[in-house]
Amino acid sequence: MIIVTGASGHLGNQIVQQLVKAVPAETVAVSVRDTARAANLARLGVRVREGDFTRPDSLRYAFEGATQVLVISAAIRGGGAAEANQAAIDAAKGAGASRILYTSHQAAAPDSLFPPQRVHAATEQHLARQGNAFTALRNGFYANALGVHLDAALTTGRIVAPEDGPVSWTAHEDLARAAVRALVGSGEIDGVTAPLTGPAALDLGQVADILSEITGRTITRETVGDEEWREAAIARGLPPMVADFSLGMFRAARRGEFNVVDPTLEAVTGRPALPVEHTLRQLLSER
């Protein structure tokens, strides 16, 4: 049984949708915190069970019969994500999975300026210590994260943010294909992967130019200081913890942590990686 955690999320859902085209649905199971949000997967014939990384006891039931477990990294801010990921890995090993996979990040490093990358680095280390066959998928930065800039860009004609740097924005569809390949392949995607990135690294100025081309409107990039941006964001209602979290991303980007483009994703999926324009058009169509 192949178990996929977090399958009600954007990436996890796409992975399962693609996975059942490659293997029988009855050999696939998902672990989700809210089973109602995975109703579409249940209709495909996938086993749906409740499982919560912060309640390890629930994972014994969710992971029952596991041969492989794909642990999609926990989305927890403010501490606890590393422990949650490690609990899921421990539960996968305890369930008898012969192989454990984890959605890491291209910039995973213990000294990253962006806190999630430190979590990924710690999780990779924990995974490698288990003695199981494993794969850490070093995913490129999710391109749909650009959605946070769209409202302001379309309303004011500006993207106002601290100084950033190039980011290899990567489409969920491509990362889902790579994960499925890792799950159903013959072990050619083992260990810590090379960065699985989109075809280009772009800063927000270049993203603004692309948005201008797509929308036919002039959208400009305006750079402000870190503290000025933080104060303005909090004044708009953003919690201070979230503002600090976002600042870490900008600081890491301008240090060059996400300025990596690698051919591995295309080699794994056997097709050209989707450009950022693809995701921007999707985001605009969903508005």
Query: Tens of pLDDT along 22-58?
Result: 999 999 999 999 999 999 999 999 999 999 998 989 9
**pLDDT > 90: what percent of the chain?**
92
Contact (CB, 8 A) for 210 and 277:
yes
Contact (CB, 8 A) for 8 and 73:
no
Predicted confidence at residue 77, as pLDDT, reads: 63
pLDDT above 80 for 188: no
Backbone angles phi, psi at 138, to 5 degrees: -85, 80
Q: How far apart are the first and last CA of the chain?
A: 37
CATH architecture for residues 2-140+171-197+260-274: 3-Layer(aba) Sandwich (3.40)
CB atoms within 10 A of CB 171: 23
Contact (CB, 8 A) for 275 and 214:
no
Q: In 33-132, at which residue ranges do the beta strands (DSSP E only) sit?
A: 47-50, 68-71, 99-105
Q: β-strands 158-162, 133-139: how paired?
A: unpaired
Alpha-carbon dihedral sign for residues 249, 254, 257, 261 = positive
Query: Tens of pLDDT along 220-271?
Result: 999 999 999 999 999 999 899 989 999 999 999 999 999 999 999 999 999 9
Predicted confidence at residue 189, as pLDDT, reads: 86
What is the C-alpha separation between 260 and 140, in angstroms, rounded?
Answer: 9
Report which of residues 286 and 78 the model is more confident about: 286
Predicted confidence at residue 186, as pLDDT, reads: 72
Contact (CB, 8 A) for 253 and 260:
no
Query: Tens of pLDDT along 163-182?
Result: 999 999 999 999 999 999 99
Predicted confidence at residue 75, as pLDDT, reads: 79
What is the C-alpha separation between 12 and 7, in angstroms, rounded?
Answer: 4
Element (H, E) at 17: helix 10-19
pLDDT above 70 for 78: no
Across the range 5-29, mean pLDDT stands at 96
Predicted confidence at residue 185, as pLDDT, reads: 84
Query: Tens of pLDDT along 205-225?
Result: 999 999 999 999 999 999 999
Query: Tens of pLDDT along 86-134?
Result: 999 999 999 999 999 999 999 999 999 999 999 999 999 999 999 999 9
What is the C-alpha separation between 18 and 9, in angstroms, rounded?
Answer: 14
Predicted confidence at residue 244, as pLDDT, reads: 93
Query: Tens of pLDDT along 89-98?
Result: 999 999 999 9
Q: Distance of CA 136 to CAs 112, 248, 249, 252, Å? A: 18, 23, 21, 21
